Structure formats: structure tokens, C-alpha cells
């Protein structure tokens, strides 16, 4: 192969460096897969190294498959002789041959998450651990975390003898591992943990695989955890011919065990290591790369490198400071439509919207549906398809229609209230025999045969709660009804008290549901529960688009790693969202957030937009966050605020919704509203200096005699008057009634 003509200087050097430890620091878009595949081809074709002597490890089956296909194009079927697989697949192959040395049979089972949960619950029952005190999910997460750092049950027990809660979990860990062995089974975390144990306890086995794999390559090395690191370290001790490829600036998975020190300390682990930096980027325009360099250079815990490109600078990073999260959604939809009109060669699939948390997708889903923009969500469920949202929506549907047996079955024991499956089955059978709905049956739970007194009492409590919701249904707004459901049922408290890894994001999703209901109430003439359910049904019934369909991609920045798009919108760029609240007070968290921002920026090939909002709804309340520090870190010459007129965005929204701005007849009325600021009635509403009803729009600036200048972020009809939510520059957020407040247009 004529490698010099196929590769740049740094890539070529990485490909031909075969012996000894090698660290390839591969910046975003620098062609690391090209280096890995050509390195293997060079070893096989030019150096006549047997393929069976080579081990290449990746993190996903998809990546392993793609690598194998590309190597096959270079060397043919010889690729079949080498191992190209994930960490877990490699370990399974080893354990199938050697696990008898650990006292297991070679036909061991691999337990999935459901099997794992059943076994942990069994252990908890035997140890008399109440799942109200410690949940099975907390225990499973803790056990997995210990295996990731190679802490045995015995070690964990010794470390936590003085901690009541952790000591209980240690007891489960001990019993759980015993039962796994009794069942001749491993869980997913055991696959690497047990392989490392095998290597450490049986030197002959380790020596065999050290001889077998003379050359080892690891992709995405910055994402390795302790057990993966140790597995590779042990194998590489034999020949020290280890090549790791990665980018410390893209280490964004610390929350699931990845340790950036593994790549940063590579030269300490292998003192004779050669380090090659791939800094030539083949993906992005110059200004995008410069912005990425600006941001990541603020991290201190990193290997210094600077991405460069031979491509033109391209346009500046476009910034947009929206009036509200709704305006942010409309702006993104507007820019996509505008770009498609101006550039016919563009397709919907060229656009990606990246956010930090899945809860942020709803605003953009709503905006895209209204604008008839096809979209698909990668790496997460659609907002209304998420479990916690479907749970609360089931409550609402049942409150609205007590004959809905499907919704009742979903919520009758959510959160858990001692109405188990066997009890529900008895109720179901009795209802079928009486040809009654489930609700009619549980109203008279005493009549159902074979129910325990405890079950009957639990059912009566549930019926009482549901009946209170039904009575409130037509008396309070939907957003308040959701709050009552979350509060009275204990659903929100259960999540807040949970130790599960995803509990925080689930709480955020529920807050977003309240915000969706509040927004519905402020924008719909019919604000009944039935109308809300109808609106949501239209949202949730939209079909998922195929991955290859011509549709805009919505995803978290975490999910976008490894992908690229011509046009990228990084949204929610506010302190408190991106970076998150926790990052603002923790330098280590801040560095991880900054790496995440770097990953987001480098997904863009040609144009990058970064948007934020002056105000947004969080849990139904309007809050205000300042623009993200990460935007401030980008040099002023690389960014500019979009010159699009904000009323163009509003009028775009009006046109696609076929709605006009508010133009109700103005009447001076008095209101008594607890959250609203009262002002003196306008004495002369005909005065030209005052804002006229037809001029009211979201996003316009107004002046109040007492509060100063502010921005209208929300408009809703309130009887015969207009209710305005205004974010004042110096006085914060105020709710005012147009009919009794003198406002001047600015």
C-alpha cells in the first residue's frame, strides 16, 4: 500500500509505528478510524504479521462491524483471523474457554437486567430488606459500580461495616454473587470483572493470552473504566505492543464510570510510550474549529492540542437570544425552513438539534410539528413516550374517562401501594364475570372474592385518591391537577428519594410536563382536561421516522458523539442548563461539561447555531438564566448574533398556525390574582403613548412606569382582559393585566 499518499504525516507515523506502546491523541474529525484500519492492513499486508496475533477492541458492536468491513476492503478475508470486538465480546470468548478454573461450567448463562432484578429482589427478601428503605435499582447500580472498579463483595463488606445502609447493600452483594454462581450465571458487569479475576488468579491463562495477542489496539480509550483499563493492562504486559486511540477532550461519560485519567496517565503506565497527535480536522469549517479550541482550552486537566483545517473559515457561529423557550423553538424551526428555501440542495437530514437533557426535546417537537418539519429522536424516547410521562398521562386519561381499564391497570399500583399483580388479576376476573368495568368493581372492593383485608384497604385508599382527582377535574387548571397527582400519589417524592441514575432526568421530564400544561392553558381557548388530552394524543401519535428518512435529528450531545451534520443547533445554552447547575459549583463537573460542549461544537461541519432563552418554563414556573459561559469563551471575532428580526420569527409562527396576534376589545376590569402585580387603572387608554391591544406580541419590549423596561414572554386571555408575563431588565418576572397596567411600547 502507498500509505504516504493515503495519509497525512501524523496519520502515516501512527500507522507505521507498530512496536512498543503508542498513544494516538485523535482530535475530533481527524480520521482515527482511517488510522486504525490502515494500521491493521499495514501489519498484515506489509509486515506479514499473522491476523490471529492482533486484538482490536472497540466500544460498540456497530463500531466493531464497521471496522471489520473497512479492514476487509483492504486485506480481504484475512481479517477473519483477528479479533475485532467489544470489551464484553472479547471477555465472553475468553471465559467460554477458561471459566471452569473459577468454578463455573463453560455453558454459563448471562443474565440480562430483568434476570438481575429478579435475583436481587430474591436476595432482598431473604435478607429482610424493605424496598421502601433501599430500592433494588439502587442496589443493582451500587453492585455494578463496585465491579467496574474491581471491588469484590468481601472487600465492599469490609469497607462498609460501619455504614448501616452500605453494609446492607454489601450483604446483598455477597448473597447475590453466591446465587449467581449457584445458578452458573454471570451478569453483564461480571464479564470483564471475572476475566480480570481469571487473569490475576491464574498466571498460566494470562500468559497464554499475552502470547496470543502480541499486538493490541483500543479505540476510544478515554471512555474506559477501571476494569476495562486493567483488562488491557494485563494483556499488554507481555509484549508492550499496545496502541490506544482516543481524545481526552471527548471524555464525557464519567457518570457511567469512564476515567479520563486512563488516557492522561498513559505515559506514566508506559514510560517509553510514543505520543502522536492527530490535529488535522477533515470535518468542520475553520471558524467552528477555532470556537471549539477556544472553549476546550479553558480546561486545565487535558493534553494540549489544537485542531486545524485546510478548509475555509466559513460563516461565523450564529447566536440567538430568544425571549422564551417557546421563541427558541420557533426560531430553530424558522431557520430550518429559511435555509431550505435559500439552499434547495439542503435536506432535512442535514440539520441536528443538540441539547443537554432529553426533557428539552418537547419544545422542539411541538415547534416542528406546527411547522410541518419531519423529525426523529436518536438516543431517547419521544417526550410523551417516556415511562414517567405515560404514567401521569394514564392518571389524566382515567380521571377524564373512568371506563378506561387500560389506564387503570397502569396506575393502580404506580407508585407502589400494595396492589399486586395477583390482586389485579382477581379484580379483572371478577369484572369480566360481572361484565363491569374495573373501576365499578373496585368501588365495591369488599364484594370481590378472595381479596385480603390489606388489599381491600389499599384499593379503598386508591379509590379515595382517584375520586378526589375526579372532583377537582373541572375546578382547577390541568397544570395544577398534574401537580396534585404528583404530590398526593407520592410519585414525585419517590423519584426524588430514589438513588437510581436516571431519577434526576425523570423529575426534569415531569417538570416539563407541568410546563407543557401551563403553556397549553395560556395559548388555548378550550383549557379543559379533554382538550389537553386531545392535543397530547396528536403529539404522541406522530410516527417515528426511520433513521435514514429525510428528517431533522433531535438528540442529546452525549448521543451525538461520533456523528456529524452540515448544520447543528446547540440549544439551551444557559448557565443552569448547559452547563448544568451542579457544574457551576464544581470545577471537575465544569470540565466535563466543557468537554461535552466541545463535542457538540465539533459535530457541525458547515454552520453552527447556539441559542439560549431569556426565560423558560421549569415546573410550570417562568425562570430566567443568563447566557452560557461557554458562549462567552468563544472569541468575539468568531461569533455574531443573528440579525433575523424577532418579529419575523413570531410572524412565521403565526402563519404556520394560521393565527393572528391578540386583538381583543380592550376593557378596563379589576382582577384579584395572587401572583399578579396590581397597578393603577389606565386613565386614558386612548393615549397614543400606551401600547394598543393589536400591537401585543411575545418578544416585544415595553416600559412600565414603576418596573422599567421589560420583554413580554407570555400572553394569555383572561376573561375580557389580557394577562401578560413580562421579564423586566431590573425587576425580574412580573404578571400584569393589560387592562389595569399602563405600558408603553419601546
Would you list which residues are annotated within the binding site for ATP?
26-33
Cα 508 to its chain centre, rounded Å, is 11
Cell numbers at residue 678, please? 396590581
Residue 319, number of CB atoms within 10 A of its CB: 18
Active site residue 32: yes
Active site residue 250: yes
Q: Which of 250, 489, 611, 711 is catalytic?
A: 250
d(CA 519, CA 703): 24
How many helices, marked H, and strands, marked E, lie in the chain? 31, 22
> CA 388, 393, 399, 401 torsion: positive or negative?
negative
Which phi and psi (to 5°) does residue 319 adopt? Answer: -105, 145
Strand order in the sheet with 54-58: 83-86, 54-58, 215-218, 242-246, 22-26, 274-278
Active site residue 483: no
Burial of 311 (C-beta count, 10 Å sphere; 0-12/13-18/19+): middle
Q: Which of 10, 148, 220, 519 is catalytic?
A: 220
H-assigned helices in 644-698 = 646-657
Active site residue 219: yes
Cell numbers at residue 565, please? 451534520
Of 441, 447, 451, 374, which is closest to residue 419 (Cα–Cα)? 451
The residues pairing with 570 across neighbouring beta strands, listed in sequence order, are 354, 610
Residue 224, number of CB atoms within 10 A of its CB: 26
Binding residue ranges? 26-33
Exposed e or buried b per residue across 277-307, where buried means at least 16 C-beta atoms within 10 angstroms of its C-beta:
bbbbbebbbbbbbbbbbbbbbebeebeebeb
Cβ atoms of 239 and 214 within 8 Å: the answer is yes
Angstrom distances, CA of residue 88 to CA of 193, 228, 237, 365? 10, 9, 20, 36
Which phi and psi (to 5°) does residue 143 adopt? Answer: -65, -45
Q: Which of 13, 17, 33, 502 is catalytic?
A: 33
Active site residue 259: no
In the chain, the N- to C-terminal Cα span, in Å, equals 69
Active site residue 603: yes
Residues taking part in catalysis: 32-33, 219-220, 250, 603
Amino acid at each position: 500500500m502507498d500509505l504516504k499518499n493515503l495519509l497525512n504525516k501524523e496519520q502515516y507515523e501512527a500507522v507505521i509505528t507498530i512496536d512498543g506502546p503508542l498513544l494516538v491523541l485523535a482530535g475530533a474529525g481527524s480520521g482515527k478510524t482511517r488510522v486504525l484500519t490502515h494500521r491493521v492492513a499495514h501489519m498484515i499486508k506489509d509486515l506479514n504479521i499473522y491476523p490471529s496475533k492482533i486484538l482490536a477492541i472497540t466500544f460498540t458492536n456497530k463500531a466493531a462491524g464497521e471496522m471489520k468491513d473497512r479492514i476487509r476492503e483492504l486485506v480481504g478475508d484475512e481479517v477473519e483471523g483477528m479479533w475485532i470486538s467489544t470489551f464484553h465480546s472479547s471477555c465472553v470468548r475468553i471465559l467460554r474457554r477458561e471459566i471452569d478454573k473459577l468454578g463455573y461450567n463453560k455453558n454459563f448463562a448471562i443474565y440480562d437486567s430483568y434476570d438481575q432484578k429478579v435475583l436481587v429482589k430474591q436476595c432482598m427478601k431473604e435478607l429482610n430488606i424493605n424496598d421502601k428503605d433501599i430500592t433494588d435499582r439502587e442496589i443493582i447500580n451500587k453492585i455494578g459500580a463496585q465491579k467496574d472498579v474491581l471491588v469484590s463483595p468481601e472487600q465492599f463488606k469490609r469497607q462498609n461495616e460501619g455504614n448501616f445502609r452500605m453494609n446492607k447493600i454489601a450483604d446483598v452483594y455477597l448473597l447475590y454473587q453466591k446465587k449467581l454462581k449457584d445458578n452458573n450465571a454471570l451478569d453483564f458487569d461480571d464479564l470483564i470483572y471475572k476475566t480480570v479475576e481469571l487473569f490475576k488468579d491464574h498466571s498460566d491463562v494470562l500468559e497464554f493470552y499475552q502470547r496470543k495477542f502480541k499486538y493490541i489496539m483500543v479505540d476510544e480509550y478515554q471512555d474506559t473504566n477501571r476494569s476495562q483499563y486493567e483488562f488491557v493492562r494485563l494483556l499488554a504486559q507481555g509484549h508492550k505492543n499496545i496502541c490506544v486511540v482516543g481524545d481526552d477532550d471527548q471524555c464525557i461519560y464519567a457518570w457511567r464510570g469512564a476515567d479520563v485519567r486512563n488516557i492522561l496517565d498513559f505515559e506514566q503506565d508506559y514510560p517509553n510510550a510514543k505520543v502522536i497527535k492527530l490535529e488535522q480536522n477533515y470535518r468542520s469549517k475553520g471558524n467552528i474549529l477555532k470556537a471549539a479550541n477556544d472553549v476546550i482550552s479553558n480546561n486545565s486537566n487535558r493534553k494540549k492540542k489544537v485542531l486545524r483545517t485546510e478548509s475555509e473559515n466559513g460563516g461565523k457561529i450564529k447566536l440567538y437570544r430568544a425571549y422564551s423557550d417557546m421563541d427558541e423553538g420557533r426560531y430553530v424551526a424558522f431557520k430550518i425552513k429559511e435555509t431550505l428555501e435559500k439552499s434547495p440542495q439542503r435536506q432535512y437530514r442535514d440539520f441536528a438539534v443538540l441539547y443537554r437533557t432529553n426533557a428539552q426535546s418537547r419544545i422542539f417537537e411541538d415547534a416542528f410539528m406546527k411547522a410541518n418539519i419531519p423529525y426523529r429522536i436518536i438516543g431517547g424516547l419521544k417526550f410523551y413516550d417516556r415511562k414517567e410521562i405515560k404514567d401521569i398521562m394514564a392518571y389524566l386519561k382515567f380521571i377524564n374517562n373512568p371506563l378506561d381499564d387500560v389506564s387503570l391497570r397502569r396506575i393502580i399500583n404506580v407508585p407502589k401501594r400494595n396492589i399486586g399483580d395477583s390482586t389485579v388479576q382477581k379484580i379483572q376476573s371478577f369484572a369480566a364475570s360481572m361484565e363491569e368495568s374495573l373501576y365499578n368493581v373496585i368501588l365495591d372492593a369488599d364484594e370481590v372474592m378472595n381479596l385480603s383485608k390489606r388489599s381491600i384497604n389499599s384499593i379503598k385508599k386508591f379509590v379515595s385518591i382517584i375520586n378526589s382527582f375526579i372532583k377537582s377535574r373541572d375546578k382547577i387548571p390541568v397544570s395544577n391537577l398534574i401537580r396534585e397527582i404528583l404530590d398526593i400519589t407520592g410519585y414525585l417524592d419517590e423519584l426524588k428519594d430514589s438513588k437510581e441514575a436516571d431519577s434526576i432526568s425523570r423529575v426534569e421530564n415531569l417538570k416539563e410536563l407541568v410546563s407543557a400544561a401551563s403553556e397549553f392553558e395560556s395559548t388555548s381557548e378550550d383549557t379543559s382536561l379533554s382538550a389537553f388530552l386531545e392535543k397530547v394524543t396528536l403529539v404522541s401519535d406522530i410516527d417515528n421516522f426511520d433513521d435514514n428518512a429525510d428528517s431533522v435529528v433531535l438528540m442529546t450531545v452525549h448521543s451525538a458523539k461520533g456523528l456529524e451534520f452540515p448544520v447543528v443547533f446547540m440549544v439551551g445554552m444557559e448557565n443552569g442548563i448547559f452547563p448544568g447547575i451542579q457544574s457551576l459549583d464544581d470545577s471537575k463537573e465544569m470540565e466535563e461539561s466543557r468537554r461535552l460542549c466541545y463535542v457538540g461544537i465539533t459535530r457541525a461541519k458547515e454552520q453552527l447555531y447556539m441559542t439560549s432563552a431569556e426565560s423558560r418554563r421549569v415546573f410550570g414556573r417562568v425562570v430566567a438564566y443568563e447566557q452560557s459561559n461557554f458562549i462567552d469563551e468563544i472569541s468575539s471575532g468568531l461569533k455574531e448574533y443573528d440579525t433575523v428580526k424577532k418579529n419575523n420569527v413570531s410572524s412565521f409562527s403565526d402563519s404556520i398556525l394560521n393565527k393572528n396576534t391578540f386583538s381583543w376589545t380592550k376593557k378596563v376590569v379589576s382582577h384579584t390574582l395572587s401572583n399578579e402585580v396590581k397597578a393603577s387603572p389606565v386613565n386614558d387608554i386612548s393615549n397614543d403613548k400606551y401600547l394598543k391591544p393589536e400591537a401585543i406580541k411575545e418578544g416585544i419590549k415595553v416600559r412600565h412606569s414603576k418596573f422599567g423596561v421589560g420583554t413580554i414572554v407570555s400572553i394569555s386571555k383572561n376573561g375580557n382582559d389580557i394577562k401578560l408575563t413580562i421579564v423586566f431588565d431590573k425587576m425580574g418576572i412580573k404578571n400584569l393585566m393589560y387592562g389595569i397596567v399602563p405600558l408603553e411600547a419601546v
